[in-house]
Structure 1
Amino acid sequence: MAPPIRPAGSRLLRRYAGGHRQAVVCFHHAGGGMSAYRGWAQALAARADVVLVQLKGREDRVAEPLTDRLDDLSVELAREICELPYEDVVLVGHSMGAALAWAVADAVWAVYRRRVRVVVSAQAPPPYAGRDLPGVPEVLGGPADGSAGAAAPGPADGLHAETLAADLAWMAREFPALVPRALPVDLHCVLADRDHLVDPAAAAGWAALTTGRFTHRTVDGGHMYLLTDPAPLLALAGAVAGGDRTLQEVCVDQ
């Protein structure tokens, strides 16, 4: 077995470098951190380097509250990503991370005129203005009013109650600022068949936001399938990073 790859980089980006010209940059979900992608660096070692985004307010950054404006954070992430020594970058985001990854792809194009490839998982597309973003009970699978609460999340679930509440409040404040506009990027959309938060029609909304290649697939599981069975998303990220042109392009009703 190959020795584990050790991370390096900034507080915001943790880079697992293996000498590749391609990188997969992973954006975590609300209530969690970069540990949601544990094992990805080793699993993708033959195809790409892995860079994990670690936002404020979680894990080793728990003392730093996440109060950044979305525009500022997106530009900061775009700058740090573009300063990395990669010719090809794939952004992978799950749930909250998917919307943030899309905002970063927008900033990378707007500021640096650079195309990335994007994998969005378990998230509806912008616009978020006027849309009811989920609260803690909805994320945990309980009713909207919280009258019959689900069990409190814990580290074993990859969700931390205080971090989740803070992230959802940040999303409600900042996500309406994300302007939907089509980008010249390849976009891959992944939805779960038992996701109680994201309508299957979300695929059509994502398809409308790219002038590049678009694929869509449905995987088995609920909203947090990334934690229970990451294999489908991991396999897709590896295929995209490896330039697999056999990925089926699909058309969805718009």
Structure 2
Amino acid sequence: MGEAAGVASPWIRRFHPSADAPVRLACFPHAGGSASFYFPLSQALAPAVDVITLQYPGRQDRRHEAGIGDLHDLADVLVEELRPWTDLPLVLFGHSMGASLAFEVGRRLEREGITPVALVASGRRAPSRHRDEYVHQRDDEGLVRELKELSGTEPGVLGDEELLRMILPAIRSDYRAAETYKYRPGSDLSCPVHALVGDKDPKVTVDETRSWADHTTGPFELTVFDGGHFFLAPHAAEVNRILADRARAHVRSTAGA
């Protein structure tokens, strides 16, 4: 588990602690995802970047806890959990639902006077670009079909009926949070935003991704990858480089100042 200021939290995972890193990366998993999804990323960036990953309730060691089906409520909780980790400059990175969640956490941090180094939003349309989606209302078979189509869940999990039955409530809760999320106009971000998208993603278009520019007064950058919703896997090296560059840019600017 993650531990900051001497307090362990079930919400935080820190796979490769980097005590001397000058910057920290906080990773927000996709709907149905767990902290371990980002283990390879943490391994790749350590020790230059201290990587922490959020672990939502309802999965893995938290499988007996109820999920939180409202993204705004989840963001409120995560701000409290992440506050002790803001002793270092913080880059926020989220994929799919995690991108919306990272955005909402970033907004809340900025309202407290804590400006993230950057937000890297992956595989998710901009907050103001709403779609009516109802996957969370499907029966279990329909939900599993969605997971198979997006190819973001381990095949071994989808083939294990007992394990699948155990995690489906958490996945449904995540989908409910993602699909019922409504952007609340107000203060957005002032930090740089870098949006990533797969050009064949059925969940988000390049145009919907480009609208992330409307949610920051800082610089905006868009990178389009060849691939679907989980383009992260085949393009892991390039995604890792983008995240490392965001972290290093802050270190360089601080050194220059």
TM over 0.5: yes
Which of these residues, 192, 198, 205, is aligned with residue 198 of structure 2?
Answer: 192
Partners of 1:69 and 1:132 lie apart in 2 by: 16
Distance 2:52 2:43 in 1: 12
Measure how far apart 1:191 and its partner are: 0.6
Does the CA-based 8 Å contact 1:7-1:17 persist in structure 2? no
Query: Which residue identity does 1:24 align to in structure 2?
Result: L
Q: 1:7: how far off?
A: 5.4
**CA apart distance, 1:236:** 1.0
Partner of 1:113: 113
Alignment root-mean-square deviation, CA: 2.9
User: Is the contact between residue 182 and residue 210 of structure 1 (CA under 8 Å) also seen in structure 2?
Assistant: yes
Q: Tell me the distance in 1 between the aligned counterparts of 2:157 and 2:241.
A: 23
Partner of 1:190: helix, strand, or coil?
Answer: strand
Deviation at 1:211, TM superposition (A): 0.4
Q: Say yes or no: does 1:41 pair with 2:47.
A: no
Aligned to 1:102: 103
Alpha-carbon distance in structure 1 between the residues aligned to 2:206 and 2:188: 20
In 1, distance between residues paired with 2:206 and 2:86? 37
The number of equivalent residue pairs is 229
CA contact (8 A) 1:180 1:209 kept: no
Aligned to 1:249: none
Asked if the contact 1:128–1:178 (Cα under 8 Å) also holds between the matched residues in 2, the reply is no
Secondary structure of the equivalent of 2:249?
A: coil
137, 149, 156: which one aligns with 1:141: 149
Counterpart residue number, 1:54: 55
- Separation of aligned partners in 1, 2:183 and 2:200: 28
Distance (whole Å) between structure 1 residues aligned to residue 119 and residue 50 of structure 2: 16
Per-residue deviation at 1:240? 0.6
1:87 matches 2:88: yes
The offset of 1:60, in angstroms, is: 1.2
How far apart in 1 are the matches of 2:125 and 2:185? 14
Deviations 1:68-95 (A, max 9, x none): 6433332332233231253310010000
- Deviation per CA, 1:144-168, whole angstroms, max 9, x where unpaired? xxxxxx9x974567x9671433321
Aligned to 1:70: 71
Give the whole-Å Cα distance in 2 for the aligned partners of 1:48 and 1:134.
38
Query: Does the C-alpha gap of structure 1 residues 50 and 185 become closer, same or farther in structure 2, counting only changes over 3 Å?
Result: same
CA distance in structure 2 between the partners assigned to 1:57 and 1:76 by the alignment: 15
Decide whether the 8 Å contact of 1:22 with 1:86 is kept in 2: no
Letter of the structure 1 residue corresponding to residue 212 of structure 2: W
Change (3 A) 1:214 1:134: farther
Counterparts of 1:86 and 1:125, CA distance in 2: 28
Q: Which runs of 5+ in 2 are unaligned?
A: 136-142, 253-257
- In the other structure, the counterpart of 1:145 is none
Give the TM-score taking structure 1 as reference length. Answer: 0.79
In terms of fraction of residues, the more helix-rich structure is 2
**Residue 139 of structure 1: CA displacement?**
5.4
* Post-superposition CA distance 1:102-137 (Å, at most 9, x none): 010011012x111101000000011366x2136245
Quick check: 2:95–2:123 contact (8 Å CA) kept in 1?
A: yes
- Are the structure 2 counterparts of residues 202 and 109 from structure 1 closer, same or farther at C-alpha, using a change threshold of 3 Å? same
Residue by residue over 1:161-189, the C-alpha shift from the partner in whole angstroms, topping out at 9 and shown as x without a partner, is 7143332123234x125546532111100
